[in-house]
Structure 1
Amino acid sequence: MTTVNGLPAHILLVHAIVVLLPLAALLLVLSALWPAARAKLAGPNAILSVLVLALVPVTTEAGEWLERRVARTPLVRTHTELGDTALYVALPVAVLAVLVWWRRRESLRSQAADVASTGSTAVATRRRTFLAPASTTVTVVLSVLAVLAAGATFYDIYRIGDSGAQASWQGQFSSAPAPHTPNG
């Protein structure tokens, strides 16, 4: 992807990443730590996280296209290198979001099997579940990993965004208003 409506696609796509990746990380923490949020948010967040994961390489590729069309400066080089790290924070968020959703799904299926087996003609059916939906240990491990992944995401997105702003704007404006701009 090169341009959208005459603008470099990267500067438009990056806004989606800057908003949606931290949102997915926040929803991951909420759904990992809070059962009521998990019930409502685990599925939508799994979808969001996977979509954002797919959008990251599209955005970085558009950034590399743009990099070949602007002056090569140390700030641009730094931003490009940092931009490549977004995939490393988006991947754990997506994987953990899918795991949290899968555990929720397994838990619901397990509850449904328990209800079915309590009838008068109960048939003992043991269904194999993955990720131990009732395990407190697995819940704690996933919760800790979710908080760590979210923290890394917020930090990385801040660093990437700051370096992009520095590369785009440093030395490009004045503290004083331009003579042709009306005051206030």
Structure 2
Amino acid sequence: MGLVNGLPAHVLLVHFVVVLVPLTALALTVGAIWPSAARRMGVVLPLLALVTLASVPLATGAGEWLEEHVGDNALVRRHAELGDGLLPWALGLFALSALVWWAARRTAPAGPAASDGTRWSALPVRAAAVVLSLVVAAGAVVDVYRIGDSGAKAAWHDGFSKTATGQDADDR
């Protein structure tokens, strides 16, 4: 994907990633910790994660096109390397969101005195899902931050003056 309305598509598509990854991470974490929240979110949780997952290769593909159309430098290469690492995090968000959604659908709320013991026997599995969700959510958000920071540095390292210039500077 190249240009959209005269702008590199990457510059537009990254905004989906920057918004959707943290939003999905938050929804996953809330759903994993509070199954009632996962039940309320319903199928929206895995669908949000699926859209997030789809947005990552779109943004990286557009980024690869852009990389071929800008000057070669270490900052751009670093940003591209970091960007290539986001897909596994997005896949993890999707897989865990689907698991949390599925588990919330399958388990009705049971009181602590449930006679069949299903609430307590599922506790280790639920605890593992919570821990995995927290790790993947945090990893995805940190990775998006690192990628965005490196992209901003690559785009703006020589693109502005540290002192005001032009007519507006005279008005101050």
Q: Give, in angstroms, the shift of residue 35 of structure 1.
A: 2.6
Q: Does 1:172 align with 2:159?
A: yes
Counterpart of 1:63? Answer: 63
Q: Give, in angstroms, the shift of residue 178 of structure 1.
A: 1.6
How is 1:1-184 mapped onto 2 (pairs within 5 angstroms)? 1-108=1-108, 135-181=122-168, 183=171
Q: Name the CA distance, whole Å, in 2 between partners of 1:165 and 1:147.
A: 27
Residue type of the partner of 1:157?
A: V
Considering only aligned residues, what root-mean-square deviation do their CA atoms show, in Å?
Answer: 2.0
Residue type of the partner of 2:126?
A: T
Assess, with a 3 A threshold, how the Cα gap between structure 1 residues 140 and 94 changes in structure 2: closer, same or farther: same
Secondary structure of 2:76 counterpart: helix
Which stretches of structure 1, 4 residues or more, deviate above 2 A after TM superposition?
Answer: 180-184
Q: Is contact 2:39-2:105 (8 Å) kept?
A: no
Q: What number of residue pairs does the alignment pair up?
A: 163
In structure 1, stretches of 5+ residues that fail to align are 112-131
String of CA shifts for 1:80-136, please: whole Å, max 9, x gaps. Answer: 01000110110101000000001112125x99xxxxxxxxxxxxxxxxxxxx99711
Residue type of the partner of 1:142?
A: A
String of CA shifts for 1:12-42, please: whole Å, max 9, x gaps. Answer: 0001101101110111000000133212224
Counterpart of 1:118? Answer: none
Deviates most, 95-104 or 49-58:
49-58
In structure 2, stretches of 5+ residues that fail to align are 111-118
Q: Give, in angstroms, the shift of residue 180 of structure 1.
A: 2.4
Residue type of the partner of 2:104?
A: R
- The structure having more radius of gyration, on CA atoms, is 1
Secondary structure of 2:161 counterpart: coil
